[in-house]
Amino acid sequence: MDKEALTAWALGAGWQMIAGMPSLTKPSAPKEAIVRLALKATVVNLEVKKPAGKWEKVAGKPYAAVEPDDEGLPLGLGFETIPGFRMLMRDNKDRQVFAKLTGKG
């Protein structure tokens, strides 16, 4: 995958652009990113925001080492091993869909 493919995947999976990075938010604070993809020139880093407000890199790989799986998740960044990650993605996507339906998006 490359930077454009990862961005397209993220936006299609419920992520939103916050501060120029594909990000996930917590349901109680939908404008504050808690997970983000830092898309660098040659690598992508998966970062999680610590309670103190500092970003911590969870995983990082060159774009060439990141590949989509059958379920659409990019393999190689640890998405499959982070507890609650799929639920957080689903919550973000559902919130976007319902916002569009109610006209609040």
Taking only the tens place, the pLDDT of each residue in 34-63 is 999 999 999 999 999 999 999 999 999 999
pLDDT at 34: 93
pLDDT at 55: 96
pLDDT at 24: 93
Domain boundaries in the chain? 3-102
CA angle centred on 20, ends 34 and 95, rounded to 5°: 50
Q: Are the beta carbons of 63 and 76 closer than 8 angstroms?
A: no
Q: pTM for this structure?
A: 0.83
Taking only the tens place, the pLDDT of each residue in 91-104 is 888 888 887 777 66
